[in-house]
Amino acid sequence: MAVTRKKDFNFAGIRVEVSADATRAERIQRSRLYRMLRPARQDGGGAPVLVRESAAGGAASPVSTADPEAQAIAERIAGIGWYHTIDLGHGIATPGFIDNRSSVPLFGIPDDLTGKRCLDIGTYDGFWAFEMERRGASEIIGIDVDSPIEHDIPRLARLKAMRERGEAHDKHRQVWNDQLANIGIEYPGQGFQTAKQLLGSKAQREAVNVYDVSPERLGMFDLVMISQLLLRLRDPQTVIENMFSVARECAIIAEPYDPELEQLGRPVSEFTGTTLMGIWWRHSIKSMRRMMEIAGFDPVEEVARFEVENRAGRFHKVVLKGHVPAAAREG
């Protein structure tokens, strides 16, 4: 596991960003020269950043035949197309498409959520909902759509491209079909409900589209979270505004970003709605930050940047935390 440390600071209008592998960075940080020259900590851009490679998940964990409970759990989770890797105890975790377990500390979720009401948007199998509950949240609602038809995807483009290109894109088609199968068309939320039962969780899954999130529909939440969904939405601004409308304290947006776009120094996004994987936009961090600011979050804080590797490939991810200003909270 290679870990890289990044640091950026401002020096007379010039932004300097230094990255080095962790051992080397450690050595530099301990050196006397560095401690003498150490740049003053900046607000905003100064957050230390960890880049991490985590192993791709996917394989079911081996089950100890000596533990009957473990075998019972393994039987319960078999046959479900899992999206999240979720620890279920007895040494068993669901064989998910995405394994967030090692990067949880990077998501900026408060350690103590005792008594808090939380919303997990696009909850899927509920990994983040259960994580919030583990931290003491008193009420968690995970929302998701019940049918792939409701997914915000450029259907026409997808179908047309598949028809036209046929064999050439079989691989993509297979991945896409796998994803559709994952949702559990016959039994929406199958993964969530199964994991919920096994964990004895009180988290609720509700079939609500992200575009329909409103205080009237769901009430207000202390923490609102969205992860790995914004890039699949053609109109991310409306969704972030919806998040603001139900947020009492803060919202966490943990999404992939494009480091090349980020380099342009402006809030630039790439429209990729023609791809087969249903990804509408590749965003720069600046774009997402700006969207949150326009939605009303103030300040918007960058919690972490890191690299993720899973079955979908390898990508860069940023965690932004938007705070609800006191004025908006009262109004």
Partner 1 sequence: MPKQTSTWPTEPLKRERKVRLGSLEVGLAMDAGPAERLRNSLPYRYVVRPALSRLSGARNGNGHNGNGNGNGNGHASGEDISVYKAGRPAAKPIAPLTEPTTPEARALIEKISGYQWYHTIDLGHGVATPGYVDHRAQLPFYHLPEDMTGMRVLDVATFDGFWAFEFERRGAEVTAIDVASMRDIDIPTNWLDEFDKSGVNHEMGVGFKIAKEIKGSNVRREICSVYDASPERLGMFDMVFTSDLLIHLRDPLRAMEAIWTVTKGFAVFADVYHPELEAFTGNALAQFARAGSGRSDVWWRPNTTTYRVWAQLARFSRMEEKSRFVLQAHFQDPIPKVVFHAYR
The residue ranges that bind partner 1 (CB under 8 A) are 8, 13-21, 24, 154, 156-157, 234-235, 237-238, 241, 244-245, 259-261, 263-274, 286-287, 290-291, 294-296, 331
- Between helix 190-199 and helix 127-134 the angle, nearest 10°, is 20
Q: CB-wise, 203 or 229, nearer to partner 1?
A: 229
Q: CB-wise, 24 or 41, nearer to partner 1?
A: 24
For the CB of residue 226, give the shortest distance to partner 1 in the complex, in Å: 17
Which residue bears the tokens 């199958």?
190
3-class DSSP state of 141:
strand
Name residues whose C-beta falls within 8 Å of residue 49's C-beta, 6 or more positions apart in sequence: 5, 6, 7, 304, 305, 306
Residue 84 is classified by DSSP as B
For the CB of residue 231, give the shortest distance to partner 1 in the complex, in Å: 14
Name the token pair of 321.
Answer: 């935390």
For the CB of residue 79, give the shortest distance to partner 1 in the complex, in Å: 36
Q: CB-wise, 155 or 311, nearer to partner 1?
A: 155
Q: CB-wise, 100 or 245, nearer to partner 1?
A: 245
Q: CB-wise, 183 or 233, nearer to partner 1?
A: 233
- Give the number of C-alpha atoms closer than 13 A to the C-alpha of residue 37, restricted to the C-beta side: 8
Q: Which helix (H) or strand (E) holds 204?
A: strand 204-207
For the CB of residue 157, give the shortest distance to partner 1 in the complex, in Å: 5
For the CB of residue 97, give the shortest distance to partner 1 in the complex, in Å: 25
Tally of CB atoms within 10 A around 257:
23
8 A C-beta contact, residue 255 and residue 283: yes
